[in-house]
Amino acid sequence: MEIGFIYIFGVLLLAWVGGGIASRLGYPPVLGELIVGVLFGPPIFALLHTNTAIQVLAEIGVFFLMLYIGLEVEPRQLRRATGAGLSAALGGFLTPFVFGYGLGIGHGWTVMESLILGLGLGVTSLAVVSRLLVDMQLVETRLTSIFMAGAVVSDTLALLVFALLLGIAQKGRFDLGDTALFAGKALLFFGVTAIIGSQALPYIGRYLQKIGFTSRTANFTLVLLFALVFAEMAELAELHAVLGAFLAGVFLHEGVIHRKVSQELNSLVHDLSIGFLTPIFFVTLGFRVVIDVVRTQWGFLLLVAGMATLGKLLGTLLFHLPYSRNWRESLVLGIGMNGRGGVDMIIAGIALEAGMISPEVFSILVLNAILTTATVPILFRLAGRFLVQEAWLHAPDPSRRVIVIVGAGPFARALALRIQMFAPVWLIDSNLRHCQEAERAGLLVIHGNALQEATLLQAHALEARTLIAMTPNLEINVLVAQFAREEFFIPDVRVVLTSEQSGMYTDILNRIRVQPAFAGTVPLEDWDRWFDLGTIEWATLPVSASQAAVSDVVRSVFPEGWVLPVFVERGGNVHIYSPDMPLREGDVLWVVRSAQSPAVQRDPFDRLIARAVILDLDTAMDFDDFFQEVARHMAPRVGLSVDALYRKLRDRETSSTTVLTPFLAVPHVMVERPHTFEILVARSRNGIRFPGTDTGVHTVFVLIGSPEERNLHLRALSAIAQIVQNEDFESRWLQARHAEELRQILLRAKRQRF
């Protein structure tokens, strides 16, 4: 068999370019891949053509695509949708199916071709729906479960009906006895796979985990083996192998494979199928399009696309309206579910291979998928924005009500006490004292590590719609947010940005679609202290039509003071505030206000200064007397005797001067006590005489640290250099009235925080 690597290269390259362009324009990549196949394949330019190797890869691509779609189907999704989701799914499938069948019969097609056309019009692309929900930021609304259920139900129904049609086509005729036999085989297949999938697979998965069969490679092999077994069972039941692959993916969920490994395998199958094999399949589908159909049957093609869209809109509207708040919401559902280019293309390709449809019918199906999918993002964004403006899309997914707060400090506890009036709240903290305080306040709290799966499961993360990471450690907050988003699919994840270094995490936060909580950078330690001191007051601020910005709402009540917007009460639900969140008339903005205000965002050097010894010396002295005074204050802090620390300071100074300018000296010594770093600051109006200086030094920073704190040592030197370079530093330093005023000068100094 001639492999033809150059053709495989060409197909993949053009598929990648076409899919990338489609994605940039807001469409699913499959749309670009189909167009590439039509443009560069035999229909138009004929630069590419298929061969045996490409055909084999395309068929394997269909197998892996159906396996991946099955892995992406969340069995809980159908249970979440209840009547609203199932009704929208059935209406969105049955109505265009009937329209398609009628169009085919009216156009003179065979019954089989008309039925296949109906299936092509009835399906909904899961990829298109997912992309739209993310782009419109509707993931956390109740429409998500309805959309996803609609896609899953319509695709599953289409596969089941197609399996029946395929069995009839293989017999070559419709015979009641043969059909009954085929139906019995199909029912037996579904029964056996259901038993294996729901009973045997979880048991096998637990046993394999118990004996240490947990590597990603081994589990990937296991997934392939089960998918092949299910595919062969489908073939034995005279169904298509893709149906077996799909069901294998549905049953091979977290109950079989460890959650983390399951997500890794999903990514692996995704990359193998979507990144390599599936583009080849969709491009080769484009090869088979009869482009002359556009010229000879353009009117019928537009009629099919119009009826496909009308069928989705009308079916969803009529079936979903009894469960909907208004007809506009049902209309948005119909528009979103009008996307195609997934299961319908697989059905069309298999039907063409099996001789169930003609190349003309196949071409109509492919071109209809391109036309209808191309209109979806435009119409959906227009309708979606209208509903957002009219405040129709505020109800969250009813299956996700829990709010998880990572961190149980004073601010987090106060926030949880307010939020629990609207939704269940769980706190997570590794600090035992914080957890005990939360329990005494009557809150639900877990003492544990939020980066561990078991801890988040205990906090009901699977039912969480919002997670707020608000520990004092920004890096931990970002890691927790990423873990919650990627492992638990929590739709609304927020991070409290606790330092000016937050910019270095911007790319990560954007990639995982995580927004900051509250209003930009938040000095969490200050707020925790104020809550502890009881200097905080809560306020609820109703939003009027004339108040478009948070600043307008806040200023209307608090003309001045340190005020932090925390969350918005909207329609009986809570939405954590973020800087880009628009307010609407009728909202209630909850804010906290402190009588105190931090001058600057604090960093590790500020914290060192906050606890540093400050010496305000009135008399002149030489460096020897000064170091004796330093040793007396600092020896207990660094675990040395007074004499030992004095000798270290004196020896360091006599070996090499630490005077940097006539105004400043920075003596520094190393100690052996692990993880030690302390600062002493001295101001001497009359000067301290260091060796080699003609005049006394007025400002001294003494740095004492262990070797592993070298990085902090360098950062402290950088901070000191920036502080003393401020134009008015020397005058303010000498004019300060006492030691605490000196401390405030350092804490409020203009410099780059780290």
Q: 83: helix, coil or strand?
A: helix
Q: Is the pLDDT of residue 256 over 70?
A: no
Measured torsion, CA atoms of residues 723, 729, 733, 737, in degrees rounded to the nearest 10 = -110
Report CA Rg, the chain. 34
- For 286: left if phi > 0, alpha if psi spans -120 to 50, otherwise beta; the answer is alpha
Does residue 191 surpass a pLDDT of 80?
A: yes
- Cα-to-chain-centroid distance, residue 218: 28
Lowest mean pLDDT among 64-78, 417-431, 519-533, 715-729: 64-78
Q: Counting beta carbons within 10 angstroms of the beta carbon of residue 26, is it exposed (0 to 12), middle (13 to 18) or buried (19 or more)? A: middle
DSSP string, 711-742: HHHHHHHHHHHHHHTSTTHHHHHHH--SHHHH
In the block, residue with structure tokens 């890869």: 57
Query: pLDDT value at position 161?
Result: 82
In tens, the pLDDT along 590-615 reads 888 876 544 445 678 888 888 888 99
**Structure tokens of 286?**
């484009």
> What is the pLDDT at residue 394?
44
Residue 618 CB: number of other CB atoms within 10 A?
8
**What is the pLDDT of the chain when averaged over all its residues?**
80
User: What's the rounded Cα separation, in Å, for the pair 652 and 649?
Assistant: 5
Contacts of 606 by beta carbon, 8 Å cutoff, 6+ apart: 600, 747, 753
Q: Tokens representing 326?
A: 């208004």
Q: Which burial class, exposed, middle or buried, applies to 328 when counting CB atoms under 10 A from its CB (0-12, 13-18, 19+)?
A: middle
In angstroms, the CA 679 to CA 701 distance is 7
What pLDDT, on the 0 to 100 scale, is given for residue 129?
Answer: 59
Percent of the chain with pLDDT over 90: 17
Residue in the block written with tokens 């988003």: 485
* High-pLDDT (> 70) share of the chain, %: 82
For the chain, give the number of residues: 754
Residue 699 has pLDDT above 90, yes or no: yes
Cα angle for residues 113, 115, 117 (degrees, 5° grid)? 70
Out of 222-226, 375-379, 509-513, pick the least confident: 509-513
The full set of domains in the chain, from first to last, is: 5-10+52-277+300-354+363-389 (1.20.1530.20), 402-594 (3.40.50.720), 604-747 (3.40.930.10)
Among the listed residues 110, 113, 109, the one whose alpha carbon sits nearest the alpha carbon of residue 121: 113
Q: What is the DSSP string of 285-349?
A: HHHT--THHHHHSHHHHHHHHHHHHHHHHHHHHHHHGGGSSSHHHHHHHHHHTT--SSHHHHHHH
- Of 727, 718, 710, whose CA–CA distance to 754 is shortest? 718
- Read off the pLDDT of each residue in 327-354 and give the average, rounded to a whole number: 80
pLDDT at 668: 92
What are phi and psi for residue 749, nearest 5 degrees?
-65, 145
Confidence at residue 390, expressed as pLDDT on a 0 to 100 scale: 47
The vertex-55 CA angle with 37 and 249, nearest 5°, equals 95
The CA angle 142-146-148, to the nearest 5 degrees, is 115
Q: What type of residue is 25? A: L
